Chains A and B, each alone.
Chain A
Amino acid sequence: KAGVTQTPRYLIKTRGQQVTLSCSPISGHRSVSWYQQTPGQGLQFLFEYFSETQRNKGNFPGRFSGRQFSNSRSEMNVSTLELGDSALYLCASSLVPSKETQYFGPGTRLLVL
């Protein structure tokens, strides 16, 4: 069974631009969570989606948004990029939210110049 896939793997953007990252969960998994990882802040939870609805949300500004499609694939969008948004963005999938084990993808490394 294929693991969690994320595209693109690497991305370079400039301040003020927007970016969309994609995540395909493990087949059969319906919950997708997104995390931001930076050297200074560690791994921080962004949001979790299940059945196309946002179920859990971390403390990030409204510039960070996401959505989930009927096939459980998820996208996250960051608008008006700032230098501090440079990070590794990780996606994790699980069968259902919260209690089930999450499996992480390789991440998308975003660099904002």
Chain B
Amino acid sequence: DAKTTQPPSMDCAEGRAANLPCNHSTISGNEYVYWYRQIHSQGPQYIIHGLKNNETNEMASLIITEDRKSSTLILPHATLRDTAVYYCIVRPSGSPSGGYQKVTFGIGTKLQVIP
């Protein structure tokens, strides 16, 4: 099972871009990278995901390196409401008929947006 590593905490000034890194050096070719965030013990909120191409949506951008061993989540203009724990996970492709596979969450990065 692929695992992820993230820095435990980061600070970002309000209005600036927040760049959150994630390493997933053992990722397999058919595994997706997902990002979630969790605000104050609420359920995690989906942000974005990708396979090998860079992705962008209304919340964030995801940059995946060519070798797919790492990725960066970019919040283009961080606000105070973006203060949360950000999780980078790798989802196994797995098929409904496949064997048991673990879904591994990283430790998460606690992002503090500073006024």
Contacts and interface: CB of A to CB of B under 8 A. Distances in A.
A81 interface: no
Given A97-B94, A99-B91, A90 B43 contact: yes
Contact of A102 (B46, B101, B102): B46
A107 interface: yes
Nearest to B45: A104
Contacts of A43: 44, 87, 105, 108
| Secondary structure call for the B interface | loop
Interface residues of B, number: 26
Contacts of B41: 88, 107, 109
Interface in A81-113: 88, 90, 92, 96-99, 101-107, 109
A4 B93 CA distance: 23
A44 B45 contact: no
Contacts of B102: 45, 56-59
A4 B43 CA distance: 10
Contact of A99 (B32, B42, B107, B108): B32
Nearest to B49: A101
A45 B108 CA distance: 14
Interface residues of A, number: 30
Which of A42, A92, A97, A105 neighbours the largest number of chain B CB atoms within 10 Å of its CB? Answer: A97
A43 B41 CA distance: 11
B21 interface: no
Q: Which 7 A-B pairs have the closest CB atoms?
A: A104-B43, A98-B94, A43-B105, A45-B103, A104-B44, A57-B100, A106-B43
11 contacts: A43-B44, A43-B87, A44-B105, A45-B105, A55-B98, A56-B102, A90-B44, A99-B91, A102-B34, A104-B43, A106-B42
